[in-house]
Amino acid sequence: MDKEKVIEVRNLAASFGDTVVLSDVSFSAYKGEVTIILGSSGSGKSTLLKHILGLYETEKGEIRIFGEDALGLDEDQQLHMYMRMGVFYQNGALLNSMTVGENVALPLKQHTSLPDDLVDDIVNIKLGLVNLEYAINKFPSELSGGMLKRAALARAIALDPPILFFDEPGAGLDPISLESLDRLIIDLKEQLGMSIVMVTHEVPSILRIANRIIYLDKGSVVFEGTLKEALKCDVESVRQFFSLLDDVDKAKQA
Ligand SMILES: Nc1ncnc2c1ncn2[C@@H]1O[C@H](COP(=O)(O)OP(=O)(O)O)[C@@H](O)[C@H]1O
Ligand SMILES: [Mg+2]
């Protein structure tokens, strides 16, 4: 049986003014998988995510999400679709004037009419998932980097989105905190069946969590395939990226 596509991008182009960032991008992401988007800095990874998330006007190409044409939706349909897509931003972006619990409750209050006691229950469950129940009444300024990321993750999953997007979630994290974030991501995939699309450069993370790799270069996708295929592939930029691993091996043997 064919795997179910949760995202399908076809021939997407994107520019800022006269600067073409994406010229012809096509790839698919599948249900229950972690898809990693790779590419050097400035290659358009964040721009691609923002087009998928409907944050930019898309003039050329096709974006299908859950099998639906995401570019042909009216406002209500759009709102409904984007409520099913959780986003975890680069620097967490919690509101500093609110406690962790209030931050996680925010999407529930904005997008649902659930009674307060039910919202409280959901907030507790989500904070439990990221092992942060004890910080419910703390303010973001009182949290460590790793805790901030986990709180932001709890907020991103508040509405139980079937797809979750991450843009460089590991930036600024030490290796131990990064590993615990990875473990949470694997739990979300395996226990809640979420599909995950992530931009990251962290090779150890990629080896732990990736099912599928998309490599962006010069405005288009130069590699699309499984992690195993990526590790064996002879596309120069992809080979170079993963050759960092050979350096680790060499250093061990030296
Ligand atoms: N809002 C914007 N306005 C103008 N140019 C932008 C904007 N966002 C990104 N760019 C440019 O588009 C290119 C791709 O950026 P980005 O998608 O952020 O790359 P990446 O996430 O891969 O590092 C860069 O050259 C960047 O300077
Ligand atoms: Mg970026």
Note the pLDDT of residue 27: 98
Q: Which single residue is written with the structure tokens 């406690």?
A: 99
234 within domain boundaries: no
DSSP code of residue 135: G
pLDDT class of 232 with cuts at 50, 70, 90: very high
In a domain, 27, yes or no: yes
- Per-residue model confidence (pLDDT) at position 170: 85
The pLDDT-based confidence of 90 (bands split at 50, 70, 90) is low
Q: Of 16, 50, 214, which is best to mutate to test ligand 1, by the most ligand atoms within 8 angstroms of its C-beta?
A: 16
DSSP class per residue in 55-77: -S---EEEEEETTEEGGG--HHH
**Is residue 239, in this structure, part of any structural domain at all?**
no
Which residue CA neighbors atom 25 of ligand 1 most closely? 42
Is 20 a member of any domain? yes
Range of the domain at 67: 5-226
Expressed in angstroms and rounded, the spacing between residue 49 Cα and the centre of ligand 2 is 9
C-beta 44 within 6 A of ligand 1: yes
Q: In the chain, what percentage of residues exceed pLDDT 70?
A: 98
Between CA 86 and CA 228 the distance in angstroms is 27
* Domain assignment of residue 249, yes or no: no
Give the span between the Cα atoms of 112 and 4, in whole angstroms: 28
Percent of the chain scored above 90 by pLDDT? Answer: 74
Query: Is it the case that residue 8 has pLDDT exceeding 70?
Result: yes
CATH number, domain containing residue 163: 3.40.50.300
Note whether residue 78 is domain-resident: yes
Query: CB 199: neighbour CB atoms within 10 A?
Result: 21
Per the structure, the count of domains in the chain is 1
Determine the average pLDDT of the residues in 166-185: 89
Q: Is residue 213 part of a domain?
A: yes
d(Cα 163, Cα 125) in Å, to the nearest integer? Answer: 19
Would residue 245 count as lying in a domain? no
Instruction: Report strand pairing: 163-167 vs 195-199.
Output: parallel
Q: State the pTM of this model.
A: 0.92
DSSP 214: E
